[in-house]
Amino acid sequence: MLIELVVVLAIVLILNVLSFGFGVSISRGEILLLGGAIFFGILGARLLINRLTEGLMGGGSGRGRGPAAEGLALLRRGDLRAAEFAFRRCLERHPGEVEALRGLAEIVVRRGDVEQYLQLTSQALSKPDALMPGDRVALCHRQADVCLERLNDPRRAVEALARIELDYPGTTDALRARQRIERMLKSDSDKDSRENRGAR
């Protein structure tokens, strides 16, 4: 926030000098209005970028604090090598740190190591109170997506979604997970029938 304020003050100062030094007619009100618009534009863009990068991680609580903060910041900036090093160092000091497991998992899946991704996310999910319910649900859905897209393995995707039903029975999240499981099973069944008809 300090950087945005300094940038705006510099722009306001430049506009002020331009209005007096070169005879450009800009009122002080217009200068302040423009400075405020620039400040809030920069601030809004920064918040949007942070939200988008958090979305890639599947949501999350406690961002910016805790043992994994350095790795999360590096991941948001796109420095995957440094982020991986920071997450691994965090896990050496704090074994089982959920945010470090999730961050490291995202890095390894981007590299194509799906099995290690599933191992790391399963380790994070094995700590029931370490994740907020929304984060747990999002991570289960992300696991299912990875199983379907990268492994083409509906069985493992169903297992990931079934965890939501077990953890949160009777909730909207459990209902959505059940509906997704049923769609996957129907799709898989339809595929098998088409293959059987084609083999005759």
| 110 plus 169 within the same structural domain | no
Which pairs from 190-196 meet CB under 8 Å and 24+ separation?
A: none
Which pairs from 34-39 meet CB under 8 Å and 24+ separation?
A: 35/8, 35/9, 35/11, 36/8, 38/7, 38/8, 38/11, 39/4, 39/5, 39/7, 39/8
Is residue 122 in some structural domain? yes
| 120 plus 153 within the same structural domain | no
* pLDDT score for 185: 86
Instruction: Mark which of 128, 154, 178 sits at the end of a domain.
Output: 128
* pLDDT score for 198: 67
Instruction: Mark which of 100, 128, 156 sits at the end of a domain.
Output: 128
Reported in sequence order, the residue ranges of 52-170 that DSSP labels E, i.e. its strands, are none
Give the max Cα distance, the chain.
Answer: 87
Instruction: Mark which of 108, 128, 148 sits at the end of a domain.
Output: 128
* pLDDT score for 29: 76
Our count of domains for the chain comes to: 2
Most confident of 30-39, 46-55, 101-110, 185-194: 101-110
CA pseudo-torsion sign 196, 154, 113, 56: positive
Per the CB < 8 A criterion, the answer to whether 42 and 7 are in contact is yes
| 123 plus 140 within the same structural domain | no
182 alpha carbon, distance to own chain's centre: 26
Is residue 61 in some structural domain? no
pLDDT in tens, 143-179: 999 999 999 999 999 999 999 999 999 999 999 999 9
| 155 plus 121 within the same structural domain | no
Structure tokens at 37: 């618009």
Is residue 71 in some structural domain? yes
Q: Which domain, by its residues, includes 94?
A: 66-128
| 120 plus 136 within the same structural domain | no
Question: With 80 as the cut, is the pLDDT of residue 116 above it?
Answer: yes
| 162 plus 190 within the same structural domain | yes
pTM value surpassing 0.75: no
Structure tokens at 157: 């995707």
Is residue 56 in some structural domain? no
Residue 170: which residues within 8 A CB-CB, separation 6 or more? none
Average pLDDT, the chain: 82
| 100 plus 161 within the same structural domain | no
For residue 90, give the CATH number of its domain: 1.25.40.10
- CA-CA-CA-CA torsion for 135, 136, 141, 147, nearest 10 degrees? 120
| 144 plus 200 within the same structural domain | yes
- Of 40-49, 81-90, 99-108, 166-175, least confident by mean pLDDT is 40-49
| 114 plus 139 within the same structural domain | no
| 108 plus 138 within the same structural domain | no
